[in-house]
Amino acid sequence: MSEVAADEMSVLSAIYCGKDEFELLEESADKGFVFRVKLLVEGIPLNIIFHLSPEYPRCLPVISVSSEDLSRHQCQSIKESLIKKAVELQPDPMVHELLSWFKENSSGFMTVATIAPTQKDEQGTWVALLHLDHMRAKTKYVKLIEKFTSELDLTGRLFLGRIILILLQGARENIKEYLHLQKTAKVDVDSSGKRCKEKMMRVLCETPLSDGLQQLRPYL
């Protein structure tokens, strides 16, 4: 495991020491470090997840940005800007520098008004595409997915392979409830076999179902 990454983790955890500001999500010799930093930027809570591989900082960190108060496009724009800046900072350790740079220039990222769904969109059928990093207790995990989708009247597909994806269709309120259940229920087990919550799920897309797109059959 990279000593550089471990040293930077120590620095970051000391700097972001407020409640919920820093959370170590995963640590292993094979994968390195995965952690979340929560920022309050222009009054908007922003979650940034970094994955530092064992080859860090020779390899760029994998970055994920999310916020309930920003559109998917805005989060993607912030992510792309962070990656572009990270390239400039290689091969030095860069996460602390990235976060400092982002906070100093945050006003430029927040000038676009948050895009709120219209009432019509909220009442229609929505589609969400989710990404899971892994499933250790696959059989149990799949049964819980089927249970949640059935109870919430959602349809969809589960794609199991090198990339694990969940495609959901249904009322937006029900999709939101599904996301809450998957993050708060103990759906999998950790490396020691202990039941654990899903901490590495990413919402890749959440949007109203476009006219002309086919409705999915009930979840199998």
* Confidence category of residue 5, pLDDT binned at 50, 70, 90: confident
126-208 fold: Alpha-Beta Plaits (3.30.70)
pLDDT for residue 168: 92
Q: How many helices (H) and strands (E) does the chain have?
A: 7, 10
Q: Which helix (H) or strand (E) holds 168?
A: strand 164-171
Residues of each domain in the chain carrying CATH 3.30.70.100? 126-208
Instruction: Write the pLDDT tens digit of every residue in 57-104.
Output: 889 999 999 988 877 878 888 898 899 999 999 888 999 999 999 988
Identify whether the C-beta of residue 52 lies closer than 8 Å to the C-beta of residue 77.
no
Per-residue pLDDT tens digits for 34-48: 999 999 887 888 999
- The letter for the amino acid at 21 is E
pLDDT-based confidence at 25, cuts 50/70/90? very high
Fold held by 3-111: Ubiquitin Conjugating Enzyme (3.10.110)
